[in-house]
């Protein structure tokens, strides 16, 4: 089992899938000659040539639309979104075409398309370049929304995405590209909709995905030092959402904290909290806590940026609140 | 011809009525021309019936009919090969009929029935017939244009010489997607990887907005020059003119793998949609004047001049259309609505 970075795991998977299936083509801005903004596609132009590694103009609507057309004809395009912030220019194509074509064609076409790239905050990239858009996409039927937290997941989920039959919103996290982890050899496709319990515990369930899994684990360590055993669940995919794993855990711990980097209102954590309320209301010993990004555009100044992002302290406090070891903030919920 | 001519403005462009006059010509394949005449008559009759069915409450939602523009779709689809493909927008009934989709299945789709071409899940704006190369009607103006560019790329990538046609409206030419897509088509065409024919159906209006009020340059064919795509403007009311242009353009696209565009000047006789009852943006006289160049009557006249059609044959074509459309309506009416289970099918393929 080799150790790979998150970045190399993604790149290796692209290579494996391109070697395996000539229908796989890559499109995106500066993925060829420039080698990719995050070097995910380093050397791939040389390896596969410009017909399979397509440097596109800065035309998100255009190239996502073109990739959908390719997919309708049986290719398996993997689009690199330089960062997910730019996907808003392609939003109509993703929502109105990719997600719905199978449906409104009465099942006559399918769109095996992957759109991948970094989602979430980097370091001091400020308001337009530090957004977490997962809830917006997870709202849409017809899409899969995937958010790997580790190199092994990045590989396993990307493999499933590329081999699938539907459009996949594949959310990487820029802050994770350099992180390393064991990646199993061989065919390691991971199914969508299957969460992983990454740490067992009986006192409180902490649900997270993407970069927040690491934050949740750090919080769990600290809670453990205080005698609180947190169970940490890594969702891996938001759509489909593994409701069963979350509910099974909460029914045992009777307490839940949901962690997301994105804005609080109408976010993924709201959906998960509602799901817990619907499925485990009688078994809850405390309100479900949400730990989220602040409800503001991302500021530039580093001190403000850190305040805007959730961290392990926030998770620790929220977990303690569910155990009534910490007072609720005055005026109701405030931290995030 | 090997290379399509560069765009040359063909008329003043202030309406289909002033487009280039077409010289008389010999009809190469009389049977085929007659068959297309009959198909256009069916399409017109079909559209009249959809408007009636809409008023009867049998068709819901939006309904955009094609009456007046028949020569455009007919001329281009007549020149497509069976394995070629095409995309269009929501004014798509005639395109499906001309491509051979059963009229009953098209009408059933409009009626929201399980036997419709999209199993009742698309409706008027989203006709599909993939086995016949019809990759869809689309409801977001301009949204299908990038798809057609990608589809054309895929056709070349997969090998062979199939081509992709993309019909679009004059209004769609101002959408960002059009420009992004045409730039990519121009680029990919340089490698011979974009066998795409774009057909701008310039029916003079986008809903109530005339071309001159939405496009800073009303010579729409000229807009393709920015992307290195040869384009010409033709009279879209004359079936033979359209067909000749289609033949040249499709041959050029097929042999070169490069995109070509044609602006077909035409006119929509009906309202924009079924809800456009009063058409305050144009006068009755405007429409009457345009009806003087009804594409079906133009074709009829040419066929009569060539001695291929007489009163009896015209009447027979009308009767045949009547029967075909009546059958289509009956089929649609008698067909079952989609079962409740259909609500949840076709959202995803097999589980990932
Ligand atoms: C993106 C978008 N904006 C607005 C509309 C509403 N709309 C529907 S049809 C139409 C006019 C389009 O005109 P044109 O492209 O010339 O096609 P035509 O209706 O003449 O066939 C408009 C504005 C839409 N469907 N999509």
- Determine, for residues A68 and B147 on separate chains, whether the beta-carbon distance falls below 8 Å: yes
| pLDDT tens readout for residues B310-347 | 999 999 999 999 999 999 999 999 999 999 999 999 99
Looking at the whole model, is its pTM more than 0.90?
A: yes
Q: A196-335: what CATH class?
A: alpha beta
Residue B272 phi, psi (nearest 5)? -55, -50
Q: Which helix (H) or strand (E) holds B261?
A: strand B260-265
Q: How many whole angstroms from its chain centre is CA A303? A: 25
Architecture of the CATH domain A3-182? 3-Layer(aba) Sandwich (3.40)
Low-confidence residues of chain B: pLDDT under 50: 1-21
CB contact A313 to B (< 8 Å): no
Where are the domains positioned within chain B? 30-335
| pLDDT in the model for residue B9 | 37
B211 lines ligand 1 (CB under 6 A): no
Alpha-carbon distance values, B113 to A106, B47, B124 (Å): 11, 18, 12
DSSP readout, B270-325? S-SSTT--S-TTS-HHHHHHHHTT-HHHHHHHHHHHTTS--HHHHHHHHHHHHHHH
Give the residue range(s) of CATH 3.40.50.920 domains in chain A: 196-335
Averaged confidence pLDDT in chain B: 93
Alpha-carbon distance values, A173 to A65, A117, A119, A209 (Å): 24, 8, 5, 11
| pLDDT in the model for residue B17 | 43
| pLDDT in the model for residue B19 | 47
Interface predicted TM-score (ipTM) over 0.85? yes
**What is the third-level CATH fold of B30-335?**
Rossmann fold (3.40.50)
Ligand 1, atom nearest to B169 Cα: 15
Which residues 131-170 on chain A approach chain B with CB closer than 8 angstroms? 141-142, 144, 160-161, 164-166
- In angstroms, the CA A182 to CA A172 distance is 17
Low-confidence residues of chain A: pLDDT under 50: 334-336
| pLDDT tens readout for residues B201-214 | 999 999 999 999 99
B272 lines ligand 1 (CB under 6 A): yes
Q: In chain B, where does DSSP find H-type helix?
A: 30-55, 70-79, 93-99, 103-110, 145-157, 176-190, 211-214, 239-256, 284-291, 295-305, 311-334
Give the residue range(s) of CATH 3.40.50.970 domains in chain A: 3-182
The active-site residue, picked from A3, A16, A29, A129, is A129
| A203 annotated active-site | no
């Amino acid at each position: 089992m080799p150790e790979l970075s998150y970045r190399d795991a993604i790149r290796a998977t692209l290579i494996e899938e391109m070697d395996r299936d000539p229908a796989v083509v890559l499109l995106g801005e500066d993925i060829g000659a420039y080698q990719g903004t995050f070097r995910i596609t380093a050397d791939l132009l040389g390896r596969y040539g410009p017909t399979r590694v397509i440097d596109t103009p800065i035309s998100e609507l255009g190239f996502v639309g073109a990739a959908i057309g390719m997919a309708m004809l049986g290719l398996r395009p993997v689009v690199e979104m330089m960062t997910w912030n730019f996907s808003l220019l392609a939003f109509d194509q993703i929502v109105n075409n990719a997600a719905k074509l199978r449906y409104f064609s009465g099942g006559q076409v399918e769109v095996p398309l992957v759109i991948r790239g970094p989602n979430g905050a980097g370091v001091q990239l400020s308001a337009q370049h530090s957004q977490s858009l997962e809830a917006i996409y997870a709202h849409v039927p017809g899409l899969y929304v995937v958010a790997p937290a580790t190199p092994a997941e990045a590989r396993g989920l990307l493999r499933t995405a590329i081999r699938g039959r539907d459009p996949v919103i594949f959310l990487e996290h820029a802050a994770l590209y350099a992180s390393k982890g064991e990646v199993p050899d061989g065919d390691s496709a991971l199914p969508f909709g299957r969460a992983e319990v990454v740490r067992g515990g009986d006192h409180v369930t902490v649900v997270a995905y993407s970069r927040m899994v690491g934050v949740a684990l750090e919080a769990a360590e600290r809670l453990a030092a205080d005698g609180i055993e947190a169970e940490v669940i890594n969702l891996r995919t938001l759509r489909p959402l593994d409701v069963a794993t979350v509910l099974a855990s909460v029914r045992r711990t009777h307490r839940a904290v949901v962690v997301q980097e994105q804005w609080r209102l109408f976010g993924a954590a709201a959906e998960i909290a509602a799901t817990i309320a619907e499925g485990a209301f009688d078994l809850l010993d405390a309100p479900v806590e949400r730990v989220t990004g602040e409800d503001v555009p991302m500021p530039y100044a580093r001190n403000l940026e850190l305040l805007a992002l959730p961290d392990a302290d926030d998770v620790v406090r929220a977990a303690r609140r569910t155990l009534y070891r910490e007072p609720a903030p005055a005026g109701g919920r405030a931290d995030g | 011809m090997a290379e399509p001519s560069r765009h040359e403005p063909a008329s003043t462009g202030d309406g289909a009525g002033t487009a280039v006059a077409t010289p008389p010509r010999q009809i190469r394949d009389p049977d085929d021309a007659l068959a297309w005449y009959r198909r256009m008559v069916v399409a017109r009759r079909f559209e009249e019936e959809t408007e009636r069915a809409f008023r009867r409450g049998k068709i819901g939602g939006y309904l955009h009919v094609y009456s007046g523009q028949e020569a455009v779709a007919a001329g281009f689809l007549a020149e497509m090969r069976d394995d070629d493909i095409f995309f269009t927008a929501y004014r798509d009934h005639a395109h499906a009929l001309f491509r051979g989709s059963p009229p009953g299945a098209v009408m059933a789709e409009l009626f929201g029935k399980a036997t419709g071409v999209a199993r009742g899940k698309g409706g008027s704006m989203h006709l599909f017939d993939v086995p016949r190369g019809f990759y869809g009607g689309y409801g977001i103006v301009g949204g299908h244009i990038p798809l057609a560019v990608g589809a054309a790329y895929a056709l070349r990538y997969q090998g062979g010489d199939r081509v992709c046609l993309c019909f679009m409206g004059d209004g769609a030419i101002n959408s960002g997607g059009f420009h992004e897509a045409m730039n990519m088509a121009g680029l990919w065409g340089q490698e011979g990887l974009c066998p795409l024919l774009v057909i701008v159906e310039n029916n003079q209006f986008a809903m109530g907005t005339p071309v001159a009020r939405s496009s800073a340059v009303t010579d729409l064919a000229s807009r393709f020059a920015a992307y290195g795509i040869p384009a010409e403007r033709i009279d879209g009311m004359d079936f033979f003119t359209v067909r000749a242009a289609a033949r040249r353009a499709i041959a050029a696209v097929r042999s070169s793998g490069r995109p070509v565009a044609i602006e077909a000047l035409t006119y929509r006789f009906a309202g924009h949609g079924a809800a456009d009852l009063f058409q305050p943006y144009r006068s009755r006289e405007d429409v009457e004047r345009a009806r003087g160049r009804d594409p079906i009557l133009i074709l009829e006249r040419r066929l009569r001049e060539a001695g291929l059609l007489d009163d009896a044959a015209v009447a027979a074509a009308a009767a045949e259309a009547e029967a075909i459309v009546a059958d289509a309506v009956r089929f649609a009416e008698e067909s079952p609505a989609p079962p409740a289970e259909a609500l949840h099918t076709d959202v995803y393929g097999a589980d990932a």
